[in-house]
Amino acid sequence: MSQQNPYNGQNPNEILDRKNAEAMLGGGQNRIDAQHKRGKLTARERIELLLDEGSFEEIGRFVMHRTKDFGLDKQHYLGDSVVTGYGTVSGRLIYVFSQDFTVFGGSLSEAHAEKVCKLMDLAMKNGAPIIGLNDSGGARIQEGVVSLAGYADIFYRNTRASGVIPQLSAIMGPCAGGAVYSPAITDFIMMVENTSYMFVTGPNVVKTVTHEEVTSEELGGASAHSTKSGVAHFSCANEVQCIEDLKKLLSYIPQNCEEIAPVYPYEAKDDELRPALNTIVPDGANKPYDMREVIEATIDEDSFLEVHKNYAENILVGFGRIGGRSIGIVGNQPSNLAGCLNIDASKKAARFVRFCDAFNIPLLVLVDVPGFLPGTDQEWNGVINDGAKLLYAFSEATVPRITVITRKAYGGAYDVMNSKHIGADMNFAYPNAEIAVMGAKGAAEIIFKNEIKASENPAEKLKEKEDEYNEKFANPYRAAHRGYIDEVILPEQTRQKLLRAFKMLENKVDSLPRKKHGNLPL
Ligand code: HXC
């Protein structure tokens, strides 16, 4: 019996070739050209830049939307508005979805959402990071609630995957409305300057409701989110830089919550002194300096990757390596607001600490903090809650944790900044460290108020009492006598001590009491 050719006499391989070629063009050459004219790469070009050459395997290249309304039954594009698949970055498995603006403006259809969800499920089951390259006009307007459902399916998976696999988002075009909440749940957001924006409601709605005139860039561009809102962790000059930054970030983080980050070969002698450290922290207690210099003189050369560089600059957070191993670094920044903790700094550091803890990245905490920033603005906006977030984040972290007090550690901020009392494993202090409830002047004014008032020369008396308080408390020894400080070290010894201590803590096992989950003060 002769079999009928199901391809109407066409060569099946040629059909496949044709379909593949069609899919490569997304929304067509004209729209690709328009994308390039906007200074943007296409979804596929971005994937090519991100992954190791030739490693990309696409999933769902021929998926199409199923909508018939508003003439969509006549407009089909293979793959619909997102390219999904897996590949490697520096040899490590990565899942990636890249929204294709050339197809219905990258808008999210039911099919688009299904492709992303399928990828997220694979990433979860196989324990590898997922990267989203976002460039989308939001919900596919012609699909209505089906598109909203698709978003929710993604949000749900983002949440379930949080803390299990790293999730990274790069915003390379529009990302508006409820669509912003997927990247917001992921671990890190990169934004490309001048060509990307994120907002819940755009400039037109803003104008109608609040009468504010604002451009998309002003409202939700890379600059706004990396300096004002803190939504973006990295602001990148262009797409190529953005993808380079993604790859760099990946190098510090493990594949999933059960693994450790890759270890890079590094010649590290654990008796190595770094004399440059002896002169970075100034003698005067109130002189500013840049904590970055302490970080850079301590960790492996050129290994510092600062996160949230231009947001809440009174605290520094970022990744580095010591002896080739990844660490997360949190440091007060005395050159900004004297290194005070405030709402933004507490939130910034708390989120970073929780990421590191979730993904087995040991923490180094550098302390020079005069306390929490006073004022009605801080109090009325909830510094109590936000300061508590940082305290909570450190307290629940089970990764190896080491603190170095480089100068001041005053008041509640001393407790919060990874003190021994909240579970730090090793606490070091420099010889000039001051660990006290508050600065000497403030302390003397309170406890010797009457004596100073009664004195013939109050200014002189205040100075005398200030000196007395300084002598008693402006040093690390009270804390060291009690074992709150494990060792007082010379600055030049910092690297040596950290190399040894992190090595000693390499196999640390600690766990939290059994619970469903804690109740972080949100
Ligand atoms: C369907 C869309 C679309 C969308 C854009 N397009 N957004 N199609 N649904 N959401 C299509 C356009 O019709 C156009 O098709 C192509 O994509 C490119 O769009 P342009 O407008 O030509 O591009 P540009 O001038 O660069 O403007 C981009 C844009 C604009 C700013 C994103 O398209 C826009 O404002 N789109 C609508 C945004 C929006 O309101 N989305 C819904 C948000 S609410 P052709 O065929 O001409 O190439 C939302 C809720 C999510 O997302 C809730 C989750 C809980």
| Mean pLDDT, all residues of the chain | 95
Mutate to test the pocket of ligand 1, among 107, 109, 112, 195 (most ligand atoms within 8 A of CB): 107
Residue-range definition of the domain harbouring residue 44: 12-250
Q: Is 85 known to be catalytic?
A: no
Please count the structural domains in the chain.
3
What is the spatial distance between Cα 350 and Cα 363, in angstroms, rounded to a whole number?
12
pLDDT digits (tens, 9 = 90+) for 158-213: 999 999 999 999 999 999 888 899 999 999 999 999 999 999 999 999 999 999 99
- Domain end point (choices 189, 216, 250): 250
Residue 137 CA, ligand 1 centroid: distance in Å: 4
Ligand 1 within 6 A of 182 CB? no
Give a yes or no: residue 5 inside a domain.
no
Output the domain CATH number for residue 304.
3.90.226.10
Per-residue confidence (pLDDT) for residue 4, from 0 to 100 = 61
Other C-beta atoms closer than 10 Å to the C-beta of 4 total 6
Does 513 map to a domain? no
Predicted ipTM?
Answer: 0.97
Q: In terms of domains, do 129 and 112 share one? A: yes
Q: How many CB atoms lie within 10 A of CB 432?
A: 18
Look at residue 504 and give its three-state secondary structure: helix
Is residue 413 flagged as an active site residue? yes
Residue 226 has a CB neighbour count (10 Å cut-off) of: 23
Contact status, residue 235 vs residue 223, Cβ threshold 8 Å:
yes
Residues 232 and 338 in one domain: no
Tell me, using a 6 A CB cutoff, whether residue 491 lines ligand 1.
no
DSSP lists the bridge partners of residue 84 as 97
Distance 104 CA to ligand 1 centre (A): 7
Question: Per-residue pLDDT tens for 15-63?
Answer: 999 999 999 999 999 999 999 999 999 999 999 999 999 999 999 999 9
List C-alpha distances in Å: 149 to 104, 175, 229, 283. Answer: 18, 17, 28, 60
Q: What would the pLDDT profile of 268-321 be if each residue is shown by its tens digit?
A: 888 889 999 999 999 888 999 999 999 999 999 999 999 999 999 999 999 999
Active-site residue among 60, 106, 173, 177?
177
* Structure-token pair, residue 35: 């994308």
Please check whether residues 126 and 246 belong to one and the same domain. yes
Q: How far is the CA of 99 from the centre of ligand 1 (A)?
A: 13
Residues 371, 485: one domain? yes
Same domain, 51 and 196: yes
**pTM beyond 0.90:** yes
Tokens found for residue 369: 């903090």
412 is catalytic: yes
Say whether 290 sits in a helix, a strand or coil: coil
Asked whether residue 399 is assigned to any structural domain, the reply reads: yes
87 & 175 share domain: yes
Decide: residue 68, CB within 10 A, 0-12 exposed, 13-18 middle, 19+ buried. exposed
Nearest to 66 by CA among 143, 139, 138, 118: 143
Q: Is residue 268 part of a domain?
A: no
Does residue 173's CB lie within 6 angstroms of at least one atom of ligand 1? no
Nearest CA among 269, 270, 320, 266 for reference residue 291: 320
Cβ(60) – ligand 1 distance below 6 Å: no
230/306 same-domain check: no
Together in a domain, 498 and 462: no
Q: Is 176 in the pocket of ligand 1 (CB under 6 A)?
A: yes
**382 flagged as catalytic:** no
How far is ligand 1, taken at its centre, from the CA of residue 130, in Å? 25
